[in-house]
Amino acid sequence: MTLPLSNGAQLPQTVRQPGYDRTALKPGILHFGLGAFHRAHQAVFTQRALQSAFGPWGIVAVNLRSTEPVQALEAQDGLYSVTVRSEAGDRSEVIGATVDWICAATDGARVLDYLSRAEIRIVTMTVSEKAYGLDPVTGGLDLSHPAVAADLKTPSTPSGILGFLVEGLSRRRNAGLKPFTVLCCDNLPSNGKVIRRLVLEMAERRDPSLAAWVSEEGAFPCSMVDRIVPAATDETRARAARLLGVEDRLALDTEPFLQWVIEDDFVDGRPAWEAGGAIFAEDVEPYENMKLRLLNGTHTLLAHLGILNGLDYIRDVMAVPELEAKARAHMEEVVATLDPVPGIDLPAYIDQLLARFSNPTIAHRTIQISLDTTQKLPQRLLSPALDALAKGEEAGATAYAVGVWMAAVRQRGDCDDPRRAEVLEAATRMDTDDPSASFFAIPGLFPPRLVEARAWRDRVNAAIRAF
């Protein structure tokens, strides 16, 4: 038997289920990026909100490319399970906040139809940093990005995230509707401001009056999201089957920790996400920097230490005392680049992160975390390096982490990255005297201040030579 249940079958009482009438749930949110993180994070928060204050906030889940998760969700009537794992044991919950599911690559017209409806009041996104077409040098629209170029050429039939947002907003303006709130949940610093700029630039190229309307009427709140969600495996699905008593093709494992910080700036209402523990703040940036620099930056370091040492999972890296010490040393240095974070004890946060990374029940692959590193370096490692150098500090921890990445690419002889060809060429051209030089020559990857920082680059080289 599989989800959904039929013929009166019941799930075990130990499994939490949606505490609201799913048949009465109407669409209110459209989400781009039907991946594991969304399903174990925003959808969980929305389920909590619906259980606390029911309303028309069902999720329309859209995947831009792959049809597989859409088909799986359809087969299970939008239901799937999330299993929270810790040393205290496993507990599973069935999530039912999703009311429709679409693959944009095969049914873009239906996506645009939803975006044109008044009932869709919020559009959320977890599509990864590389999907937006962000020029790392200017901070604006990258006109050479394939999806950006295509959507500027044929705006009425978009394929990329920005194209769908702008065309959807255009149709709403033409229909006399309010814009939807655009809520980015990807790991970009000041993500709401970044997406606002990109949307306005694309809209301006289409129709300056559209850009003016979006600028005046729209909302792009910043947000910070946090939860460790490993890619699902056969073991994940087998565990869910034991806990549920039925098969779940979309089963996920995750950790107990769950965090969402959101700027409270919405055009037309929102769910009661605070019921799930979401924090609404006037300024999200301190929380973003904390998470990007301490959690994500250390994750990037640990992932590449794992690759260099033949360790498949973050928990395996943390089980090696000298590697765990590298993680702590990194965070204890980088924390000095942060401003105070309201309500957060930063030393305690570091201890909590180390415990999360060490969770023996969470199988988070080092290769998974190493994906798209060139897109992640600026916010995770290079920005804190610049801030530390500006204070007259050595910034040795960030130099070490960057060197570990370069050494891992060289040793592995491969990477999964949008700039793969350039990165692999740099790895093959490593010079004995200055092994990082070929990486620093990659156009637009490193800020000029770091390229010119000879002492910092020497520390990068020392890290490379250590391996």
Going by C-beta distance under 8 Å and a sequence separation of 6 or more, which residues neighbour residue 423?
A: 374, 409, 415, 417, 439, 442
Q: Measured between alpha carbons, how far is residue 215 from residues 176, 196, 199, 218, 282 in Å? A: 16, 8, 9, 6, 19
> CA 51, CA 283: separation in Å to the nearest integer?
28
Q: Which amino acid is at 367?
A: I
DSSP string covering 3-16, please? SSP-TT----TTSB
3 state DSSP class of 51: helix
Residue 61 near residue 29, CB atoms below 8 Å: no
Query: Which DSSP symbol is given to 247?
Result: B
β-pair type (181-184, 279-281): unpaired
- Digit-by-digit pLDDT tens for the chain (467 residues) are 678 776 556 889 999 999 999 999 999 999 999 999 999 999 999 999 999 999 999 999 999 999 999 999 999 999 999 999 999 999 999 999 999 999 999 999 999 999 999 999 999 999 999 999 999 888 899 999 999 999 999 999 999 999 999 999 999 999 999 999 999 999 999 999 999 999 999 999 999 999 999 999 999 999 999 999 999 999 999 999 999 999 999 999 999 999 999 999 999 999 999 999 999 999 999 999 999 999 999 999 999 999 999 999 999 999 999 999 999 999 999 999 999 999 999 999 999 999 999 999 999 999 999 999 999 999 999 999 999 999 999 999 999 999 999 999 999 999 999 999 999 999 999 999 999 999 999 999 999 999 999 999 999 999 999 99
What CATH topology corresponds to 285-465?
N-(1-d-carboxylethyl)-l-norvaline Dehydrogenase; domain 2 (1.10.1040)
Query: Which DSSP symbol is given to 311?
Result: -
b/e code 22-34 from CB counts within 10 Å (16+ = b): beebebbbbbbbb
The two counts, helices (H) then strands (E), for the chain are: 22, 11
Q: Measured between alpha carbons, how far is residue 343 from residues 185, 190, 273 in Å? A: 21, 19, 18
- ∠ CA 195-289-187, nearest 5°, is 40
Element of type H or E holding 100: strand 98-103
DSSP string covering 185-245, please? -SS-TTHHHHHHHHHHHHHHHH-HHHHHHHHHH-----EEEE---PPP-HHHHHHHHHHHS
Tell me what pLDDT residue 137 has: 82
22-281 and 285-465, same CATH topology: no
Going by C-beta distance under 8 Å and a sequence separation of 6 or more, which residues neighbour residue 308?
A: 404, 407, 408, 411, 467
> CA 277, CA 272: separation in Å to the nearest integer?
10
Tell me what pLDDT residue 136 has: 82
Going by C-beta distance under 8 Å and a sequence separation of 6 or more, which residues neighbour residue 38?
A: 31, 61, 124, 126, 185
Tell me what pLDDT residue 8 has: 58
DSSP string covering 333-357, please? HHGGGPPP-TT--HHHHHHHHHHHH
Tell me what pLDDT residue 3 has: 86
- How many of the other CB atoms lie within 10 Å of CB of 112? 18
Residues constituting the chain: 467
3 state DSSP class of 184: strand
> CA 394, CA 32: separation in Å to the nearest integer?
41
Domain extents in the chain: 22-281, 285-465
Residue 71 near residue 249, CB atoms below 8 Å: no
Tell me what pLDDT residue 6 has: 64
3 state DSSP class of 85: strand
Residues 22-281, CATH architecture? 3-Layer(aba) Sandwich (3.40)
